[in-house]
Amino acid sequence: MGAIIVNLDVMMAKRKMSLNELSERVGISLSNLSILKTGKAKAIRFSTLEILCEVLDCQPGDILEFEKDISKDK
C-alpha cells in the first residue's frame, strides 16, 4: 500500500511563510499544523484543506501527494 505525503513544508518554503505566520493566518494551532507537517495526522478536514490552499495560494495536490509503495511493485 502506498502513502499520502504532506508537502506543507515545501509550499511554506515556496511562499516564504513561517509556521507561526501560517498558524495565525489559517487559524489552526501550531501543534495541529506541526502534526500535519510532520505527517503524523490521520485525517485532514476539507475545511482545513480549503483554508490552507487559500492562504498558500495553491491546489490540494500541491499539499498532498500519493506515493506508491515501490517495493511491492517490484
Partner 1 sequence: MKTISIIPVIRVLSWIVFLGLCIKAGAVLFTFTISLYNPPYAADLYQGLDLSILYSASRLDYIFLMAFAIILSSMQAFIFYFVVSIFEKLNLVRPFSEEIFLLISKISYFSLATGGIGLLAHQFADQLVKNGLVIGKAIDFWEGRDAFLFMGGVVLVIAQIFRRGIDLQVEHDLTV
Contacts to partner 1 by CB under 8 A: 28, 32-33, 35-36, 40-45, 48
The three cell numbers of residue 5 are 505525503
Q: Least Å distance between CB 59 and partner 1?
A: 18
Residue nearer to partner 1 on the CB measure, 12 or 36: 36
Q: Which is nearer to partner 1, 18 or 71 (CB)?
A: 18
Residue 70, all three cell numbers? 515501490
Q: What is the dihedral sign for C-alpha 51, 43, 67, 24?
A: positive
CB of 68 to partner 1, least distance (A): 23
- The separation between the first and the last C-alpha atoms of the chain, rounded to the nearest angstrom, is 13
Of the pair 10, 49, the CB lying nearest partner 1 is at 49
Give the span between the Cα atoms of 16 and 42, in whole angstroms.
26
